Amino acid sequence: PVPAAAAAGEESPGEGGPPDHSYSLSSGTTSEELLRKLNEQRDIIALLEVKMKEMKGSIRRLRLAEAQLREEIREKDRLLHAASAGTRKRHGL
């Protein structure tokens, strides 16, 4: 069979060229190898999409927790301010 990279008109790296990486194609790449690499990339993309959804959920939960903590701080500040104002009135300040 004609290598898929050659059929696609891709040039092969010359002697002493960069090493072949898992994501690069050599001139001898067959259609079966291309299909395998494509499936591997699809699997990676699917895993990344799952991780992104998980991260979005985590971010959403963190934002909710932050909002709750900010509300608690506001409430405690109000209580401290009210207590402080009451103490000043009692002592005639």
Domain ranges for the chain: 30-92
Q: Is the pTM here over 0.75, yes or no?
A: no
Nearest to 34 by CA among 19, 24, 43: 24
Question: Identity (one letter) of the amino acid at 66?
Answer: E
Tens digit of each residue's pLDDT (9 = 90 or more) over 31-90: 999 999 999 999 999 999 999 999 999 999 999 999 999 999 999 999 999 988 877 776
Tens digit of each residue's pLDDT (9 = 90 or more) over 35-45: 999 999 999 99
Helix or strand run (H / E) with residue 70: helix 31-90
Check if the beta carbon of residue 7 is closer than 8 Å to that of residue 33.
Answer: no
What pLDDT is stored for residue 24 in this prediction? 64
